[in-house]
Amino acid sequence: MEYGRQLNRERTVERQAYRHSSVAFGVSTHLIRLAGALSPLLILEFVKESLKATRWIRIASITAAGVNETLWATRMQRRSENELQR
């Protein structure tokens, strides 16, 4: 344990302000995927007409996919910026 403490004292690298920012992206994408998967069940419970329900299911799935892809693109952009800084 003492060796690790000495090694940390010798480092001059600045610490990150928020260490695990990818966790927030992972949680948010998981929740969006979960909402996209459960949306047909909720829509079918509340919308009784089949044509309207089908329309709302399509809208919900396209929206969930679009938001998920946007978050993924943002994550990849941040990752490439971090790699360029290193």
The token pair that represents 39 in the structure block: 């949306």
Assigned domain for 13 exists: no
**Does residue 2 lie within any of the structural domains?**
no
Its pTM stands at 0.65
78 within some domain: yes
Domains: count for the chain: 1
Tokens of 1: 């344990």
Which region holds residue 36: left if phi is over 0, alpha if psi is between -120 and 50, else beta? alpha
Domain that holds residue 59: 23-85
User: Per residue in 5-19, pLDDT tens?
Assistant: 555 555 555 655 555
How many whole angstroms separate alpha carbon 30 and alpha carbon 23? 10
* Per-residue model confidence as pLDDT tens digits over 33-53: 999 999 999 999 999 999 999
Task: Kindly state whether residue 72 falls inside one of the protein's structural domains.
Answer: yes
Residue 3: inside a domain: no
